[in-house]
């Protein structure tokens, strides 16, 4: 068995660093144009250059998205953009459109190419077609079962790699090809501006009774008929590995640094534990708990074990489950005193119980018994965004370890 790549999202530079620190083998990100997450922070060319430098120093990889479904004007400047990414040393480009494919081949003929899930690859002949054009990796459509994936991999050239989403948001439309956003608010999801109308609340109206709103389901709260559950496959690492998938992809370029660290860290540990002893592997319950402590909708296994039924949707609301708040990030630690320097991310106060997680440690808990501000004055709480505080720690911590507490943000 070959250990699969763990591929993490990054919407800005801090998220990139957290993904690498918490165990991602590769990170995918978007530049300021040509990607499908226009509302993410995204990366300037200088930031992409720094991202590549940092990743390569650690032996990791950077993939850049150019996966919009372009109109004519969207092609302007793309050739120069691709050439610059090639010069920087980006490891691969993720594309979906044949026109963009041609431009990449002309501008950077040696660039590694990954076919985006936007291209809706659902069969082995389509995979073979793209392989013959020079594509190195296919990002499979989310609408495939493990049985279908195994057949595609078995019937495809051995050199062709396959990548699949294993965690994160699911789309109501076929692998992201959605027109709802354009219709509802004039924002084109296929050009990076999705307004997520699949999460809106919908009612049924009879044409001769305008203003009389009836729930689509018999529920006084109405229904969110397009609202999919999130995908979570952390309890199925053996099945994913044995399918032959080369890269395990986490969705979430719009998600927080805390989300990236928590989810990437959990999957990193789960994959490593499986390869340490595959014959006796049992999913660590603590890792299952970890992914539940990041912001999420109710989970499902998507299409992996068959087409979702009505339990694949959430009809009651479109809210995230946010039972834990990210309250601090360790910036420094003095082992001689046991005092950590913390950058506040949400309010924390004396007497609260917090949890501390890190990429190379088991989670531990402690009560906040002492805090000091930057001037060394004792304080009872840290209410200010990104306030720097000192805190006594029960165990040794490291830079970029995360402090969280049960409860909502800013409580």
Q: Pick the residue with more confidence: 7 or 170? A: 7
Tens digits of residue pLDDT in 338-360: 999 999 999 999 999 999 999 98
* Residue 235 CB coordination number (10 Å): 16
Q: Which pLDDT value is given to residue 259?
A: 93
Q: Does domain 5-173+227-312 have CATH number 3.40.50.300?
A: no
The residue to which tokens 């805090």 are assigned:
371
* DSSP SS3 for 263: helix
- Residues 180-197 have a mean pLDDT of 71
Q: Which pLDDT value is given to residue 210?
A: 82
Tens digits of residue pLDDT in 215-232: 555 455 556 666 778 899
Q: Which pLDDT value is given to residue 297?
A: 78
pLDDT tier at 81, thresholds 50, 70, 90: very high
- Closest residue by Cα to residue 104 from 63, 139, 52, 142: 63
Q: Which pLDDT value is given to residue 194?
A: 74
Q: Which pLDDT value is given to residue 221?
A: 53
Distance CA 174, CA 356 (A): 39
What is this structure's pTM? Answer: 0.86
- Residues 169-183 have a mean pLDDT of 69
What's the whole-number average pLDDT of the chain?
89
Q: Which pLDDT value is given to residue 407?
A: 85
* DSSP SS3 for 54: helix
Q: Pick the residue with more confidence: 327 or 202? A: 327
Among 95-104, 221-230, 261-270, 395-404, whose mean pLDDT is lowest?
Answer: 221-230
- Residues 115-121 have a mean pLDDT of 92
Give yes or no for residue 195 having a pLDDT over 90: no
Instruction: Let me know: does 357 contact 391? Beta carbons within 8 Å.
Output: no
CA angle in degrees (0–180, nearest 5) for 197-203-206:
125
Among 96-100, 251-255, 315-319, 398-402, whose mean pLDDT is lowest?
Answer: 315-319
- Residues 37-50 have a mean pLDDT of 79
Q: Which pLDDT value is given to residue 365?
A: 96
* DSSP SS3 for 324: strand
CATH of the structural domain 324-406, one choice from 2.60.40.10, 3.40.228.10, 2.40.30.10, 3.90.550.10: 2.40.30.10
Q: Which pLDDT value is given to residue 206?
A: 77
Percent of the chain with pLDDT strictly greater than 70 = 88
Boundaries of every domain in the chain: 5-173+227-312, 324-406
Give yes or no for residue 37 having a pLDDT over 80: no
Give yes or no for residue 411 having a pLDDT over 90: no
Q: Pick the residue with more confidence: 136 or 294? A: 136
Q: Pick the residue with more confidence: 44 or 34? A: 44
Q: Residue 328, class by beta-carbon neighbours within 10 Å (0-12 exposed, 13-18 middle, 19+ buried)?
A: buried
Q: Which pLDDT value is given to residue 218?
A: 45
Instruction: Let me know: does 261 contact 9? Beta carbons within 8 Å.
Output: no
């Amino acid at each position: 068995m070959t250990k699969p790549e763990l591929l993490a999202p990054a919407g800005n530079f801090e998220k990139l660093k957290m993904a690498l620190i918490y165990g991602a083998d590769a990170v995918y990100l978007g530049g300021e144009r040509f990607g499908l997450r226009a509302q993410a922070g995204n990366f300037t060319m200088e930031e992409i250059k720094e991202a590549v430098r940092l990743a390569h120093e650690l032996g990791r990889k950077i993939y850049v998205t150019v996966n919009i479904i372009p109109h004519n004007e969207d092609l302007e400047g793309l050739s120069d953009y691709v050439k610059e990414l090639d010069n920087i040393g980006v490891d691969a480009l993720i594309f979906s459109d044949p026109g963009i494919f041609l431009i990449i081949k002309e501008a950077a003929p040696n660039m590694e190419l990954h076919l985006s899930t936007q291209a809706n690859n659902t069969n082995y002949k389509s995979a073979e077609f793209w392989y013959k054009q020079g594509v190195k990796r296919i990002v499979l459509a989310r609408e495939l079962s493990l049985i279908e994936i195994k057949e595609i991999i078995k019937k495809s050239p051995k050199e062709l790699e396959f990548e699949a989403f294993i965690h994160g948001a699911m789309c109501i439309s076929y692998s992201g090809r959605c027109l709802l956003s354009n219709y509802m608010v004039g924002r084109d999801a296929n050009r990076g501006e999705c307004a997520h109308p699949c999460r809106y609340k919908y009612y049924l109206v009879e044409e001769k009774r305008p203003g009389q709103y009836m729930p689509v389901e018999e529920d006084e709260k109405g229904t969110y008929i397009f609202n999919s559950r999130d995908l979570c496959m952390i309890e199925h690492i053996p099945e994913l590995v044995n399918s032959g998938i080369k890269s395990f992809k986490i969705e979430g370029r719009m998600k927080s640094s805390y989300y990236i660290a928590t989810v990437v860290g959990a999957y990193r540990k789960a994959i490593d534990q499986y390869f340490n002893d595959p014959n006796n592997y049992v999913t660590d319950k603590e890792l299952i708990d970890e992914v539940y402590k990041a912001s999420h909708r109710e989970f499902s296994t998507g299409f992996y074990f068959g087409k979702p039924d009505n339990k694949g949707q959430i009809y009651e609301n479109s809210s995230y489950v946010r039972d834990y708040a990210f309250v601090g990030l360790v910036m420094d630690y003095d082992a001689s005193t046991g005092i950590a320097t913390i950058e506040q991310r949400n309010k924390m106060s004396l007497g609260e119980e917090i949890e501390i997680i890190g990429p190379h440690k088991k989670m531990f808990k402690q009560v906040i018994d002492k805090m000091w501000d930057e001037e060394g004055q004792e304080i009872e709480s840290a209410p200010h965004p990104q306030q720097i505080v000192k805190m006594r720690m029960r165990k040794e911590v490291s830079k970029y370890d995360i402090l969280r507490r049960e409860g909502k943000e800013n409580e």
